[in-house]
Amino acid sequence: MDNAQKIREKARQYRDDTARCLSEMVKIPSLSGEEQAVVLKIKEQLEAVGIRDVRIDGLGNLIAKVGRGPKILAVDAHIDTVDTGDPSQWTTPPFSGIIRDGHVHGRGTVDQEGGAAAMVTAARILKEMEYDGEYTVYFTFTVMEEDCDGLCWLYLIEKEKLIPDLAVITEPTNLGIYRGHRGRMEMEVRITGLSAHGSAPERGKNVIYSGAETALKIRELHQRLREDEFLGKGSIAPTVFQSETPSLCAIPDKAFMHIDRRLTWGETKESAVAEIQDLLGGDSKVTVPLYDRISYTGTVFTQEKYFPTWKIAEDHPFVQAGTKTYVSLFNEEPRIDKWTFSTNAVALCGKYGIPCIGFGPGNEIYAHAPNEKVPVDHLEKAAAFYALLPYVLEQKTNA
């Protein structure tokens, strides 16, 4: 029996364990900055299946290691989630973790503790197979991604000096192999006007009018943004508008607008800021905010809210290794695609140029949505994929 068959059998054998592992995670709420309890649960799960090299870094990321090769393959899942939204929209309680009808249900099953549960099983399989090849496989269970994607990996690279040669992002891909996504950034616009008595508005400059005019200009800008053949079109949208006034009987003289900007290939932070500044003129200022929230460990690690675009070519050796892994396990060609949303690869590949691919259980349409659920079949297949990949990478290297 070859490695693919052995791993497929083991993933099938541990199928129910993987589902239960995910169920236990889902029962623990884990918003960004509040992940300690679920981190400790995953640490317990890893140690229960024989993984001894497990530690928590200064930011709160959980790091498990299998193998001792000279090259580093990272397999990453963020284990924080968004909140539940309106509970009345859920047909099952969001923290039930119930396993029913071939799915695990609850907040985080798709985005993206499903990937984390599959990683626990993959680490177990590699340990049992006594993997000792060319790669040290780091399974990273990372924090604060929903608040600030990539921050965890900036910390791992800059502070922990964990610099992978390759990385797999286990965000939901519906079991496709993904090779890129648009970048994103946040911008804050501050608009200055002139206050006057509400009975004589012509004496002032009303920032609500200025903001409305700005919003309409941004809508027009959206239509003419750059487009990439693979990643698609850039986008821009105002998401918050607030004004300040000395009185409800006074013309407001200050306003704040928050902008969500998605960046396609060839767009940069500098070009995006310049576009907005050109629209606004001298009465307004555009800035890119900093993320400086404290982690559950008490660490503050700041990052500008700019998350670079990334992609790798379809014929890249890492994409080809992922394809071979998929075919070896499932005897069919995978779907090669991209994410709509952003992931931790903005740091790994977008900033540092480390080649990344995506492969994860679940359909991204359930991300951040009520009634989130992931097929147990996907968990089983994802675990097999992560476990076989280092073996296939060695074959590609030595071919």
The set of catalytic residues is 80, 145
Tokens of 143: 């924090």
What the block records as the tokens of 295 is 């982690």
**Angle made by CA atoms 196, 202, 206, in degrees to the nearest 5:** 60
Position 196, amino acid: A
Dihedral (Cα; 101, 107, 337, 10), 10-degree rounding: -50
Decide: 190 and 255 in contact? Cβ < 8 Å: yes
**Cα 99–100–101 angle (5° rounding)?**
140
Strands 135-142, 71-78: pairing kind:
parallel
Spatial distance between the Cα atoms of 103 and 99, rounded to a whole number of angstroms? 6
DSSP helix/strand/coil, 285? strand
Q: Name the helix (H) or strand (E) containing 326.
A: helix 317-330
* Beta strands at 356-358 and 166-169: parallel, antiparallel or unpaired: parallel
CA 333, 335, 341 angle in degrees (round to 5)?
160
Helix H or strand E segment including 9: helix 3-13
* C-alpha to C-alpha distance for 30 and 81, rounded to whole angstroms: 6
Retrieve residue 31's tokens: 């918003």
Give which of 272, 273, 255 is closest to 182, Cα–Cα. Answer: 272
Q: Find residue 238's DSSP bridge partners.
A: 259
The Cβ of residue 240 has, within 10 Å, a number of other Cβ atoms equal to 10
Is the CB of residue 138 less than 8 Å from the CB of residue 75? yes
